[in-house]
Structure 1
């Protein structure tokens, strides 16, 4: 039995685990970490230790940087290189403009049908 615990009770710490908070890294940090592996010939383990990140995240960043250097724009992750960041920003602007265009089309059609009814 654990001291200061009522008989039959389970202490809080043994039943509840604190969830690890998800850490967020800037694109610049991710780029620097991936460059250690690709450009500075660090092993993944050495780069993880130097940057204080886990191997899974670092491997993902290295693969993303390889793809970006090959000209592929990441679909879900934030781009690390300046060129790919600009491409992502332009794609977002295109999506916004296309949405605005559709709204204007619908508004024009609605106004035209309303004026024909009068």
Structure 2
């Protein structure tokens, strides 16, 4: 007898597939469900607000990545300036 999954379980399974980048077959196996069942759930929820939530999450991640790239660039520039200053002052002592 097949166990009927809760609505929350189905939505979470779809969210995992859409946001993780993992293959459907792997997610289905990890969750103990069939790949065709998971594919059916995905097509069922694609038109719902779940895909909008995933898209918003992806946009948030993209913005955070861009912020971190900028921060890394600034930190690298500051590090390079400090290296040059250290070399300059070290050469002044001799």
Higher relative helix content: 2
Given the two structures, how large is their TM-score scaled by the length of structure 1? 0.39
| Higher gyration radius (CA) | 1
